[in-house]
Structure 1
């Protein structure tokens, strides 16, 4: 439904991280609902998205929502132009703009989360096929550069990045997590990087970070075989730091983010610098190599055929009610 359609029947409210609330807020109507949204500050209904943006001065963005809170910036993936918060060059550019603004404002850290039940489904395969079918050489360069700049924005962000994973994180949506500083997940979250199924090489520096964090054997299973990790498995292997029960996930995350935001901005930034500074040059080099390889694959006929095959398989699995 288009974002200007805000006068129809009320959809379920969204809580502070963009997922559905478990209290009785969904029963409130009209002005009472709007008043509650103002009081709680984070109630988020996709069909009220246009009004929320105007109130929060985030109308510059179409596929993300940016909120300025006390001590931190909250960026929510909320794609209107792709399904399941999938990434396109335009969406990645919006995230880069949001990170660029947050890097120089008075916030002490950045919280990244998502609206809906899926955190991020990675690069939009349908978008890739549509673009690469027109001009493979030109579009492969453009999309690879967008991925490179997107990943680079996370590598160079000086303030701590906290990620709240409310649901599945796939492909590039999972690969960027080691580039962030703290990852908290809902019990409902799971992680998968089906690179081989798409005949693609790793992205998001995962060819380096996954073996470092998960160990070579498990990293290879994820990158080559598309192994799916549950939230608890990801936590036990170090990809996620804590897992929370779904009904209290948002409250647990926000409590901890606010505690972090009460710390000294200088201490937070300098601490991150000491932890990350030696890795930056390595991550930059890995990012460049990964994107160069993606560009070469997208230029090839076999690469395009693999995307078609993946989408056909995905459609079949969805029809058969299987997870993908």
Structure 2
């Protein structure tokens, strides 16, 4: 078990006992097929057992000297996918870290996948029960999740140990420093998943990557390697996988040795002017998602995507 609790977390899909197919996206299938993505529930269990605090179900929060370490460690979804419940846990952890004596927050994950974003099979399962109610509940959770990153006053360091997809990639520009493992890659296949952009990516991606590449990512599902993401400014540094955790912890501890007021005020100078704009973008994106999920065509398109991918090959 390493310093950030990274272990293997991927499971393959299988038919459910009630006869319904447990549907997975093509991205999840790809992850499951790649060499080395082997799941062992005992490893995740050991990480959680070693924590002094078990107040969270799908994340692990560690209080370190000078900083708070939040790890995505979903037991209810595959590949650290996000649900409203998981997003609420992250918001609560950020709220606690904002009020304590931490100087900064480190965001990483347990497993080989950093975050696979919103789970399409979860969306179709919930939206099929009560489209209007569930679309409001899910979009409200996304809005508050993104706002938690926008409003967090202390520096946020994201340590991306593996693939970051969808909302898991979209929130990275809302962090202040992003370090990636050589094994990481980034993808926001919004159009392919019949979703519109989220996490303020409709604004931040064109600003960071340029309009052309941002459109390729948001419309065409263009996948960026860690090195490509670094060269375009989405990631600041890339480290070798075998030393990734050590490199991250060394640098985070160096940051945590700085004066807390200086760190917070420096972030305020960099970010405060953008805050109203990001709030507006987040609100517009969530309204669009809600409108899409409330529509019959949007739900049918999402179901058609999942159905086709489940029977590929």
TM-score > 0.5, shorter chain as reference: yes
Give the number of aligned pairs. 280
Larger Rg: 1
Secondary structure of residue in 1 paired with 2:50: helix
**Distance between the aligned counterparts of 2:168 and 2:254, measured in 1?**
26
Are 1:48 and 2:53 an aligned pair? Answer: no
Counterpart for residue 256 of structure 2: 261
Are 1:207 and 2:202 an aligned pair? Answer: yes
Please, what TM-score do these two structures have when normalized by structure 1? 0.84
**Distance between the aligned counterparts of 1:180 and 1:304, measured in 2?**
31
Counterpart for residue 189 of structure 2: 194
Are 1:302 and 2:297 an aligned pair? Answer: yes
- For residues 112-131 of structure 1, what are the structure 2 equivalents within 5 Å? 112-131=107-126
Structure 1: gaps (5+ residues): 1-13, 22-43
**Distance between the aligned counterparts of 1:212 and 1:289, measured in 2?**
17
Listed one character per residue, the Cα deviations across residues 38-87 of structure 1 (whole Å, up to 9, x for unaligned) are: xxxxxx9312245224xx22x11000000000000000000000110000
Structure 2: gaps (5+ residues): 9-41
Counterpart for residue 290 of structure 1: 285
Counterpart for residue 229 of structure 2: 234
Following superposition, which runs of at least 4 residues in structure 1 exceed 4 angstroms of deviation? none
Contact 2:7–2:43 (CA<8 Å) still a contact in 1? no
Contact 1:18–1:113 (CA<8 Å) still a contact in 2? no
Contact 2:48–2:60 (CA<8 Å) still a contact in 1? no
Please, what TM-score do these two structures have when normalized by structure 2? 0.87
Secondary structure of residue in 2 paired with 1:198: coil
- Choose from 54, 59, 62 the match for 2:57: 62
Quote the offset at 1:312 in angstroms: 3.5
Counterpart for residue 15 of structure 1: 2
Are 1:148 and 2:128 an aligned pair? Answer: no
Are 1:88 and 2:83 an aligned pair? Answer: yes
Are 1:244 and 2:231 an aligned pair? Answer: no
Contact 2:127–2:299 (CA<8 Å) still a contact in 1? yes
